[in-house]
Amino acid sequence: MPELPEVETIVRNFRPRLVGQRIASFNTSWPKSITPSFPRVRSALTDRSITALTRRGKFIVLHLNDASWLLVHLRMSGRFEWAADAPRRPNHIRSTWRFTTGEKLYFCDARKFGRITHTHDLAIATADLGPEPLARNFTPTALRTILKQRRRQLKPLLLDQSVIAGLGNIYTDEALHRAGLHPATTSDRVSATQSERLHESIRSVLRLAIRNHGTSIDWIYPGGWMQKRLRVYGRTNEPCRTCGTPIKSLRIAQRGTHICPKCQPKNGHKRTRRRKRSTKG
Ligand SMILES: [Zn+2]
């Protein structure tokens, strides 16, 4: 499933093509994916212009010129296809935007879990989402408060979109490895130092992934390079890039999880070897 870096990459790629376009028509072959209903969304979109394209969590947000918004969630297999890019008609087209320029945007979705929602109130539509991990208000203190207030295992906690928006299986595993934390650690037992390291790890891995255009591990999301930089996700039995120990896969809260058993010890605090700083000038 595309996570924050993949959705951010899609938004950046499609922004120059979509912003300024006027929608001539909107059609779907899968009305179940459209909220509140296909007829209402069709009439809300027709003749509207797209004024901006942004991201909130894993949602793609199309801003329309009547101060309403269209939220697209790709879920398992959703993707955008630009008609000009695809001389062949792409597979699994569920919805189509035709613009007054004659160009078309397809929403393709093999597994049909993707969702398209029109709203007149973006704040209400996104009220269930936690903070953006790359936003300024997501401070080390904010994460410390989140961890302290909840007594949940780190893995399901970080995956919960109402706690932090945008992390999925890949970047949760990667951030926890970089922070040296076992994913089954209970959040209120994370020390201040560990919490600060986790904050830094979440942000640095997301920034690195955006720079690498996200992770491409299947045909659904092509074009990314981050898979070459992953340290644990999808690397079962391969050596840890930090210590050489084989990466282990396990299930935590029903989710496939990848760890280095040495860098992410179960109940212990990671032993950090710190050189004593010399006070001599
Ligand atoms: Zn290791």
Q: Which of 241, 255, 262, 270 is catalytic?
A: 255
Sheet holding 115-119, edge to edge: 34-35, 115-119, 69-73, 59-64, 50-56
Start-end of CATH 1.10.8.50 domains in the chain: 140-259
* Centroid of chain to Cα 36: 24
Q: How far is the CA of 239 from the centre of ligand 1 (A)?
A: 8
Q: How far is the CA of 145 from the centre of ligand 1 (A)?
A: 28
* Centroid of chain to Cα 243: 28
pLDDT in tens, 187-217: 999 999 999 999 999 999 999 999 999 999 8
Q: How far is the CA of 63 from the centre of ligand 1 (A)?
A: 44
Q: Is 172 exposed, middle or buried (0-12, 13-18, 19+ CB in 10 A)?
A: buried
pLDDT in tens, 115-174: 999 999 999 999 999 999 999 999 999 999 999 999 999 999 999 999 999 999 999 999
Q: Is 58 a catalytic residue?
A: yes
Q: Which of 58, 155, 231, 235 is catalytic?
A: 58
Q: Is 2 a catalytic residue?
A: yes
Q: How far is the CA of 144 from the centre of ligand 1 (A)?
A: 25
Residue type, position 242, single letter: T
| Stronger pLDDT, 115 or 87, i.e. the higher one | 115
Q: How far is the CA of 238 from the centre of ligand 1 (A)?
A: 11
Q: How far is the CA of 256 from the centre of ligand 1 (A)?
A: 18
Q: What is the DSSP annotation of 178-247?
A: HHT--TTSBGGG--HHHHHHHHHHHHHHHHHHHHTT----STTS-S--GGGT-SSTT-TTSBPTTT-PBP
Sheet holding 104-109, edge to edge: 23-28, 93-99, 104-109, 78-82
Start-end of CATH 3.20.190.10 domains in the chain: 4-125
Helices (H), the chain: 4-18, 38-45, 122-125, 140-149, 154-159, 169-179, 192-211
pTM: 0.92
List the structure tokens of 275.
């050189």
Q: Is 255 a catalytic residue?
A: yes
Q: Is 75 a catalytic residue?
A: no
| Phi-psi label, residue 254: left if phi above 0, alpha if psi -120 to 50, beta otherwise | left
Q: Which of 3, 8, 81, 174 is catalytic?
A: 3
The radius of gyration of the chain from alpha carbons, rounded to an integer in Å, stands at 21
DSSP code at position 276: P
pLDDT in tens, 23-63: 999 999 999 999 999 999 999 999 999 999 999 999 999 99
Q: How far is the CA of 224 from the centre of ligand 1 (A)?
A: 25
- CATH homologous superfamily of 4-125: MutM-like, N-terminal (3.20.190.10)
CB contact at 8 A, 42 and 27? yes
Q: How far is the CA of 9 from the centre of ligand 1 (A)?
A: 29
pLDDT in tens, 162-181: 999 999 999 999 999 999 99
Q: Is 36 exposed, middle or buried (0-12, 13-18, 19+ CB in 10 A)?
A: exposed
Q: What CATH number labels 140-259?
A: 1.10.8.50
CB contact at 8 A, 64 and 49? yes
